[in-house]
Amino acid sequence: MKIGTFQQNWAQAALSGLVEGYVCLISVAEAKGSVPREAGAIMLVYNSHIDGSIGGGELEFQAIKTAREDRSEKAFLREVRTYPLGPALGQCCGGHVKLMFEWYGPDSQSVLAQLAAQDQGYSLHPTNSQDIPVVAIEPSEEMLSLPLSVQKQPVFLYGAGHVGRAVVEIARHLPCQIYWVDTDDDRYPEDIAEEVTKLLANKPETIAQHAPGDAIHLIMTYSHQVDFKIVMAVLSCGNFARCGLIGSETKASRFRKRLRDAGVNSDAVERLSCPIGLPEITGKKPLQVAISVTGQLSNWLETK
């Protein structure tokens, strides 16, 4: 089960939220039929804001309302509620969802601290009792199991121009670790999000050669020659998840010919995605291109 878009394990986020008082963890414990989110999807509800999502719509509205009900108890509390997503909620999905609510107050700090200290394994939640969650190495068939590690696939984005900046601004919200590569420090914006790592390199292809084998490469530099060197490095290595290149069909055809002429394996050349992006988004403005590229990246992250 995935933890959604959290950049830390859910208990770390909940622990930091105790400064506001109570925190409520909501998780989809069971999903049947057509539903907006899968079992294991979670959100945290605080007094002033929320993190994550269980699918939006009336279901999420009702869940947030329940999470913020006045709780005078300081102790941990768990409740499971069933929601039919048809006439009762006015949603046309038609399925059924069981939501688990867990309220954590000041007296739950030690429980959350224990879970927050874990970077591997799962928290196990017995939905038929008030027992506090426990840590396990493997998920349980009998209990709702939420991962305590955050799976972030490495994404190497080459180029800090207009499109690169727009891609980073959107893609940083996806479950990935972005490494932003460029040859000129002046091309980067002054403020870069904490979850993005800047890699300044005279030869970006060297970075590509040493990237992890599960990395996704998004190539959109200021120069076709720099682009080619990076693509050449990625495809020659052969150990990568995806390789996407910004450009046209003409650029794609020329690059593939050059790569084959340079001796790159034909199977590796066929793995180059160019033009990168969702074909149904045809706009050429930087933001439109970034939406197209990030949409494809999102699909890649889901099918890794």
Within a domain: 111? yes
Prediction pTM value: 0.66
Structural domain span for residue 274? 153-302
Same domain, 168 and 274: yes
Q: Is the pLDDT of residue 41 over 90?
A: no
Question: Can you tell me the distance from the alpha carbon of 191 to that of 168, in angstroms, rounded to the nearest whole number?
Answer: 12
pLDDT at 60 over 90: no
Q: Is the pLDDT of residue 93 over 60?
A: no
Shared domain check, 157 and 119? no
Residue 4 predicted with pLDDT over 90: no
In this predicted structure, the answer to whether residue 70 has a pLDDT above a threshold of 90 is no
* 128 and 80 part of one domain: yes
Whole-Å CA distances, 243 to 16, 122, 218, 240: 37, 32, 6, 7
- Least confident piece of the model among 76-90, 112-126, 265-279, 285-299: 76-90
Domain count, the chain: 2
Contact 78, 110 (CB under 8 A): no
Q: Are residues 34 and 126 in the same domain?
A: yes
Q: How confident is the model at residue 273 (pLDDT cuts 50, 70, 90)?
A: very high
Distance of alpha carbon 60 from alpha carbon 43, whole angstroms = 9
| Shared-domain flag, residues 132 and 267 | no
- Give the pair of three-digit tokens for residue 282: 């045809």
Q: Give the pLDDT score at 6.
A: 54
Task: Write the pLDDT tens digit of every residue in 202-220.
Answer: 999 999 998 988 899 999 9
Domain boundary residue, one of 125, 147, 169: 147
Domain boundary among 121, 147, 173: 147
Q: Give the residue from 127, 147, 167 where a domain finishes.
A: 147
Does residue 2 lie within any of the structural domains?
A: no
Kindly report, residue by residue over 140-175, the tens digit of the pLDDT: 989 999 988 776 789 999 999 999 999 999 999 888
Which tokens sit at 247? 């450009």
